[in-house]
Amino acid sequence: FYLTPAQVNSILKANEYSFKVPEFDGKNVSSVLGFDSNQLPANAPIEDRRSAATCLQTRGMLLGVFDGHAGCACAQAVSERLFYYIAVSLLPHETLLEIENAVENGRALLPILQWHKHPNDYFSKEASKLYFNSLRTYWQELIDLNSGETTDVREALINAFKRLDNDISLEAQVGDPNSFLNYLVLRVAFSGSTACVAHVDGVDLHVANTGDSRAMLGVQEEDGSWSAVNLSYDHNAQNEHEVERVKMEHPRSEEKSLVKQDRLLGLLMPFRAFGDVKFKWSIDLQKRVVESGPDQLNDNEYTKFIPPNYHTPPYLTAEPEVIHHKLRPQDKFLVLATDGLWETMHRQDVARIVGEYLTGVHHQQPIAVGGYKVTLGQMHGLLTERRARISSVFEDQNAATHLIRHAVGNNEFGTVDHERLSKMLSLPEELARMYRDDITIIVVQFNSRVIGAY
């Protein structure tokens, strides 16, 4: 049983989304040309989330991917809320006052974000009031704290991450009279999510990362070839600094039990995450909340389960590492993706595939026979393979889709193999997760002309 190329395409393209920064007078003065995003589920339902928005009260654009675990509730909440926290953190004092006044007097609120959403990217209606109140509390505190200094993007990102995670934790502890919401906030807190968020404002690119999603810059070298620059560090057992950090934060007696089988406390892959209160709350707090919580929570073995060797919580933080990069004309694009992509593809290949896709130039060296011994058959095979590589480019109108096609369908030669693609996409739900992870990708394309003019 095989999927036809058309069926494959309809699966691959179901979640694709593109946004082009609008032009004024035939000019786009933004350093961002636009972005393509897409996601391919392996879990049912998918646990990855993505967000993109333009800041309306400050300059800049926000883009992020969120890889949920133990359910999608936390990733969903973070994808809805984090950008508001960041935007608010960036707002000048006067604007915060203006907004607070508007809310106070029941006037229309200044819009803070313009979202760029795929129809499948939903926001929870039920929780919006709750989320709004938490956010309002945050900006009220910011107003009170008015330091008079201009807002530093790095600080804002770190504050926003930490504050949102704190709010998630608090909301779960306080609970909600509405039983649906009560259950929701608990699910959000007990599930977890990584976050990899980019903030682009002119030539200033900040990437805030928590967890093992990754941001990568695509750079075009002078000879036209493509190379990759990492703009985030993975927070997992492969990152020595991260292992070191965790160990520093806990007594030496726990050294052996902290990281087992490359997992935090032998359980969690990412070493930083939103939610996951099981790795943050004290045992007492966990027990109290679960017991007083709704039955669904109480009956859930996972939530009741306390991690082994759980002595000195918290073991987990949502605090991001922030990397600042000044964009240069040779920086052509940024890829934000969950680990589903990075598990299957090397970043160098990602840089090349996206680079060639975006420029439309396929830097295949022309073949020259020269003095080599080549037979007609060998040449034919080589040309067929090169053609396949090019034709896969033309099938896609979205760089993220193109990348997913390669991630899932690549054969050993680095070309998309339809048979393989068809097999991977027609796996039954229960098997899919064994062969691949959810993949979420955002490819941001930069405007070299604007960047060069800075």
Partner 1 sequence: AAGMFLRLLSDIQWRAAHPKWRRMTRSQRSTSTTAEPHPVSLPAQAQVVICGGGIMGTSVAYHLSKMGFKDIVLLEQGRLAAGTTRFCAGIVSTARPVSIELKMAHYSNKLYQQLEQETGVQTGYMKTGSISLAQTQDRLISLKRIASSLNVMGIPCEIISPKKVLQLHPLINIHDLVGAMYVPEDALVSSANVSLALATAASRNGVQIHERTSVSHVTIQKGRVTGVETDRGRIQCKYFVNCAGQWAYELGHSGEEPIHIPVHACEHFYLLTHPLQEPLSSSLPTIVDPDGRIYIRNWQGGILSGGFEKNPKPLFTEGRNQLEIQNLQEDWDHFGPLLSALLRRMPGLEALQIMQLVNCPESFTPDMRCIMGESPTARGYFVLAGMNSAGISYGGGAGKYLAEWIVNGYPSENVWPLDLKRFGTLQSSRTFLRHRVMEVMPLMYDLKVPRWDFQTGRQLRTSPLYDRLDAQGARWMEKHGFERVKYFVPPGSDLLDLDHSKTFYKPDWFDIVGSEVKCCKEAVCVIDMSSFTKFEISSTGDQALESLQYLFSNDLDVPVGHVVHTGMLNEKGGYENDCSIARLSKRSFFMISPTDQQVHCWAWLKNRLPDDSNLVLEDVTWKYTALNLIGPRAVDVLSELSYAPMTAEHFPSLFCKEMSVGYANGIRVMSITHTGEPGFVLYIPIEYALHVYNEVMNMGQKYGIRNAGYYALRSLRIEKFFAFWGQDLDAFTTPMECGREFQVKLDKGMEFLGQEVLLEQKQNGVYKRFTMFILEDHDTDMDLWPWWGEPIFRNGRYVGKTTSSAYSYTLERHVCLGFVHHFDEKTGEKLVVTTDFINQGEYEIDIAGQRFQAKAKLYPFSSLFTQRRRKDEVELSGYQRE
Q: Where do contacts with partner 1 occur on this chain (CB under 8 A)?
A: 364, 366-370, 373-377, 379-380, 382-384, 386-387
Cα separation, 157 vs 322, in Å, equals: 8
* Alpha helices (H) in 237-335, listed in sequence order: 240-248, 255-258, 283-292, 295-298, 301-304
Minimum CB distance to partner 1, residue 391 (Å): 12
Minimum CB distance to partner 1, residue 414 (Å): 17
Minimum CB distance to partner 1, residue 192 (Å): 48
Rank residues 261 and 375 by Cβ distance to partner 1 and give the closer one.
375
Rank residues 103 and 388 by Cβ distance to partner 1 and give the closer one.
388
Is-contact 9 422, C-beta < 8 A? no
Is-contact 445 34, C-beta < 8 A? yes
Q: What per-residue string of b and e applies to 128-139 under the rule 16 or more CB within 10 Å gives b?
A: eebbeebbeebb
Rank residues 97 and 393 by Cβ distance to partner 1 and give the closer one.
393
Minimum CB distance to partner 1, residue 364 (Å): 7
Rank residues 296 and 384 by Cβ distance to partner 1 and give the closer one.
384
Owner of token pair 């902290």: 258
Is-contact 311 217, C-beta < 8 A? no
Minimum CB distance to partner 1, residue 270 (Å): 44
Minimum CB distance to partner 1, residue 385 (Å): 10
Rank residues 13 and 386 by Cβ distance to partner 1 and give the closer one.
386
Rank residues 346 and 387 by Cβ distance to partner 1 and give the closer one.
387
| 270 CB-contact burial (10 Å; exposed 0-12 / middle 13-18 / buried 19+) | buried
Minimum CB distance to partner 1, residue 185 (Å): 58
Minimum CB distance to partner 1, residue 50 (Å): 36
* Alpha helices (H) in 191-294, listed in sequence order: 240-248, 255-258, 283-292
CA-nearest of 316, 317, 338, 334 to 325 is 334
CA-nearest of 344, 358, 341, 396 to 219 is 358
Q: Which amino acid is at 440?
A: T
Minimum CB distance to partner 1, residue 320 (Å): 45
Rank residues 29 and 361 by Cβ distance to partner 1 and give the closer one.
361
Cα separation, 294 vs 303, in Å, equals: 12
Rank residues 59 and 380 by Cβ distance to partner 1 and give the closer one.
380
Cα four-point dihedral sign 90, 95, 98, 102: negative
Rank residues 102 and 374 by Cβ distance to partner 1 and give the closer one.
374
Cα four-point dihedral sign 194, 200, 203, 204: negative
